[in-house]
C-alpha cells in the first residue's frame, strides 16, 4: 500500500495538512447534519425503477439552496438494489434542459444497455433499458456519461449507488441492514461561491482535474450517522470528479476491507488506511462495539508531499499522533455515533468470503497496451461536446465515430496501462478484471479482488487480465477511460466493441 501512496501526481504537493478535508465555515455555525440515506429502489423483482432526471435545489450549506441535478430527488439518486439472476428494468426520463446519458458503472451488461455517450437522451426523451443481472454481489453505481459533459453533470448531482446481492453474499454473516448497519457512503468534493452555488469549470480545471474544496458525504457536509454498537459495513464510493482520498479513522482504528469494485474479496483484509481513486468502491466493516464514536477522515492525497521511500504512509503516521494531538487532524467527513437502542451485528467476520478463480497464464491470448497522454499535440480544438479535446489514449482523443479496439468475446486478455504524466484511475466498461501489477509493482492484498478501476502512472506498467462476456456493437460500443472526469471529457477515452 505504501508504494501506491508514494506515487507522485502532476503537481508537487505541499506537506501541510491544513485544509485537508476542509469544512465550509458555515458548517461551524449549525448542528451537524444527519447522514442522508438515499431511498432504496427495489429492482430485484422486475418492477421498473423510475429515474426521472431533473433539476433540483439541495441544501449543502445550512439555510442555503443550491441548484442541483438528481434522479427523482434534488441531489444524487436512489440506491438501486437488485440481485444476481434478476431482470433490472430502469425507466429514465430526461426532464432536465440538457442532453444526458447515464451509465451503469461496474455492471456486466451488453453495450446497448450500458449507457455510454451514444445512448444520450435529449431533453424530454425517455430510455427504458432492461438489464439482466448475471454478476456476483457488488457495489456499483450509475452516473452521467454525457459526451463532453460528464464532469459537469456528475458534479451537479447525477450519480447514485447500485447494490447487487446474491446467495453467496447472503450466506455470510455480514452486516446487511440498509441504512442501519450497511450504509451507502458517497464521497465527493465541491466548491461553493458566495451565494452557495456550485462552482465548476472544465476549461479552468488544471492538469489534475477539478478539485472541490469541501468534502460532502451523500450530499452533506460532515454529517453524523447513528449506528448500532457492533459491526458496521460502509459501502464507500469515491464519487469525486478528480480527487484521490486517503480514507482512515481519526482514532487510527483497524477496519476490514471486504470488497473491491466487482465484489467480495477472498478474505477480509485488516487495514488502518487506504487510498481511494475516483470511481472506485471499497466495502469495509468497522467495529463499534467499544461504544465510541468513529470519525471517518477523507484526506486529500494531492496535499501530501511525495517522500521517496517512506511515502505518504510514513508521513501520515508521523504527523498524526492520534492519541494526543487532535489539532493536527482535519475534521472527520463523517462521524459514526453509537446508538445503543439499535440492535448490533456482533457475529465475527467470516475468515473466508468467496473463492476467486484466476485463469491460467496459458488462457491469456493477447496483450494490448494503452498509453494515456496528457499533452496530446495532434488533437486540440473542440470536440462535439463543449470540451477541449487535448488528452488522448494511444495517440487518439475520444471520437464518437471511431472504434479504437475490437475485442473477441469470452477470451482472456492482458491489458497494460501507462501514462506520459502523472497518476490516473483507469476504468473499463462491461467487465470486472483482476489486477496483476500496479505501476510496475505487485498488487496489494486489498486489491486482489474483482475490479473495474486500476491506478496507473508514468513510472511502470499497470496490468490487468480481463475477459468480456457480453456483446457491444459499433452502434453502442463500450468505453475505457480515465475516471478523472475532466480527463475523460477532454478526450482521455476510447471505444471498443465485443463480438
CB of 251 vs Cu ion, minimal distance in Å: 34
CB of 178 vs ligand C2O, minimal distance in Å: 22
Nearest to 356 by CA among 443, 280, 273: 443
**Region binding ligand C2O by CB under 6 A among candidate stretches 84-92, 121-129, 257-265, 476-484:** 476-484
CB atoms within 10 A of CB 206: 11
Contact 330, 37 (CB under 8 A): no
CB of 424 vs Cu ion, minimal distance in Å: 3
How many Å apart are CA 297 and CA 308, to the nearest integer? 24
CB atoms within 10 A of CB 49: 20
Helix (H) and strand (E) counts for the chain?
Answer: 5, 31
Q: Is the dihedral of CA 333, 339, 237, 51 positive or negative?
A: negative
Contact 249, 255 (CB under 8 A): yes
Q: Half-sphere exposure of 67 toward its Cβ, with a 13 Å CA cutoff?
A: 9
Nearest to 427 by CA among 373, 397, 464: 464
Q: Which is nearer to ligand C2O, 320 or 496 (CB)?
A: 496
**Region binding ligand C2O by CB under 6 A among candidate stretches 187-195, 228-236, 291-299, 479-487:** 479-487
**Region binding Cu ion by CB under 5 A among candidate stretches 41-49, 250-258, 336-344, 425-433:** 425-433
How many Å apart are CA 304 and CA 404, to the nearest integer? 36
CB of 364 vs Cu ion, minimal distance in Å: 23
Q: Give long-range contacts, CB 8 A cutoff, 24+ apart: 374-380.
A: 374/10, 374/207, 374/419, 374/420, 374/421, 374/422, 375/420, 375/421, 376/491, 379/491
Q: Which is nearer to Cu ion, 93 or 105 (CB)?
A: 105
Q: Which is nearer to Cu ion, 224 or 482 (CB)?
A: 482
CB of 488 vs ligand C2O, minimal distance in Å: 7
How many Å apart are CA 397 and CA 277, to the nearest integer? 22
Binding site partner of 424, from ligand C2O, Cu ion, none, Cβ cut-off 5-8 A by kind: Cu ion
* Size, binding site for Cu ion by CB under 5 A: 6
CB of 182 vs Cu ion, minimal distance in Å: 23
CB of 341 vs ligand C2O, minimal distance in Å: 38
Sites for Cu ion among residues 96-115 (CB under 5 A): 105
Instruction: Indicate which single residue of 180, 259, 482, 493 sits in contact with Cu ion (rule: CB under 5 A).
Output: 482
Sites for ligand C2O among residues 262-291 (CB under 6 A): 279
Q: Which is nearer to ligand C2O, 427 or 437 (CB)?
A: 427
Q: Which is nearer to ligand C2O, 78 or 111 (CB)?
A: 111
Residue 103 found at the interface with ligand C2O (CB under 6 A): yes
Residue 484 found at the interface with Cu ion (CB under 5 A): yes
CB of 309 vs ligand C2O, minimal distance in Å: 34
Contact 134, 108 (CB under 8 A): yes
Positions that interact with ligand C2O (CB under 6 A): 103, 105, 143, 145, 279, 427, 429, 479, 481, 483
Positions that interact with Cu ion (CB under 5 A): 105, 424, 429, 482, 484, 487
Amino acid at each position: 500500500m505504501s508504494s501506491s501512496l508514494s506515487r507522485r501526481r502532476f503537481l508537487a504537493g505541499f506537506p501541510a495538512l491544513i485544509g485537508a478535508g476542509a469544512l465550509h465555515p458555515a458548517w461551524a455555525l449549525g448542528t451537524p447534519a444527519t447522514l442522508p440515506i438515499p431511498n432504496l429502489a427495489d429492482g430485484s423483482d422486475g418492477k421498473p425503477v423510475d429515474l426521472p432526471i431533473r433539476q433540483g435545489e439541495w441544501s449543502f450549506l445550512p439555510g442555503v439552496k443550491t441548484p442541483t441535478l438528481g434522479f427523482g430527488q434534488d441531489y444524487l439518486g436512489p440506491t438501486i438494489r437488485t440481485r444476481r439472476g434478476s431482470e433490472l428494468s430502469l425507466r429514465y426520463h430526461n426532464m432536465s434542459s440538457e442532453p444526458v446519458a447515464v451509465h451503469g458503472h461496474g455492471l456486466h451488461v451488453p453495450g446497448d444497455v450500458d449507457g455510454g455517450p451514444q445512448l444520450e437522451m435529449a431533453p424530454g426523451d425517455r430510455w427504458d433499458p432492461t438489464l439482466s443481472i448475471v454478476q456476483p454481489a457488488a457495489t456499483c453505481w450509475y452516473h452521467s456519461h454525457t459526451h463532453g459533459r460528464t464532469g459537469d453533470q456528475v458534479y451537479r448531482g447525477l450519480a447514485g449507488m447500485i447494490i447487487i446481492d446474491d446467495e453467496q453474499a447472503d450466506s455470510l454473516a455480514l452486516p446487511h441492514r440498509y441504512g442501519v448497519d450497511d450504509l451507502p457512503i458517497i464521497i465527493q468534493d465541491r466548491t461553493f461561491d458566495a451565494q452557495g452555488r456550485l462552482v465548476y469549470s472544465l476549461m479552468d480545471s488544471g492538469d489534475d482535474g477539478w478539485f472541490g474544496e469541501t468534502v460532502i458525504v451523500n450530499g452533506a457536509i460532515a454529517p453524523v450517522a447513528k449506528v448500532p454498537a457492533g459491526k458496521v459495513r460502509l459501502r464507500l464510493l469515491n464519487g469525486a470528479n478528480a480527487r484521490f482520498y486517503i480514507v482512515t479513522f481519526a482514532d487510527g482504528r483497524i477496519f476490514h476491507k471486504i470488497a473491491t469494485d466487482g465484489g467480495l474479496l477472498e478474505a477480509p483484509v485488516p487495514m488502518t488506511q487506504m487510498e481511494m481513486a475516483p470511481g472506485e468502491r471499497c466495502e469495509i466493516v468497522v467495529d463499534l462495539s467499544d461504544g465510541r464514536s468513529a470519525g471517518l477522515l477523507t484526506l486529500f492525497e494531492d496535499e501530501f508531499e511525495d517522500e521517496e521511500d517512506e511515502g505518504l504512509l510514513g508521513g501520515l503516521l508521523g504527523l498524526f499522533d492520534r492519541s494526543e494531538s487532535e489539532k493536527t487532524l482535519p475534521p472527520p467527513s463523517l462521524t459514526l455515533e453509537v446508538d445503543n437502542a439499535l440492535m448490533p451485528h456482533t457475529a465475527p467476520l467470516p475468515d473466508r468470503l468467496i473463492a476467486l478463480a484466476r485463469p491460467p497464464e496459458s488462457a491469456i491470448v493477447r496483450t494490448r497496451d494503452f498509453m494515456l497522454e496528457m499533452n496530446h499535440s495532434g488533437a486540440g480544438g473542440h470536440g462535439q461536446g463543449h470540451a477541449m479535446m487535448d488528452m488522448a489514449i494511444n495517440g487518439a482523443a475520444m471520437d464518437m465515430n471511431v472504434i479504437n479496439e475490437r475485442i473477441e468475446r469470452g477470451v482472456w486478455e492482458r491489458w497494460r496501462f501507462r501514462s506520459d504524466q502523472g497518476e490516473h484511475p483507469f476504468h473499463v466498461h462491461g467487465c470486472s478484471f483482476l489486477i496483476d501489477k500496479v505501476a510496475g509493482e505487485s498488487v496489494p492484498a486489498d486489491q486482489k479482488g474483482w475490479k473495474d478501476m486500476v491506478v496507473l502512472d508514468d513510472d511502470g506498467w499497470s496490468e490487468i487480465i480481463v475477459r468480456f462476456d457480453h456483446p457491444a456493437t459499433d452502434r453502442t460500443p463500450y468505453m475505457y477511460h480515465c475516471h478523472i472526469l475532466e480527463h475523460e471529457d477532454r478526450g482521455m477515452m476510447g471505444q471498443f466493441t465485443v463480438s
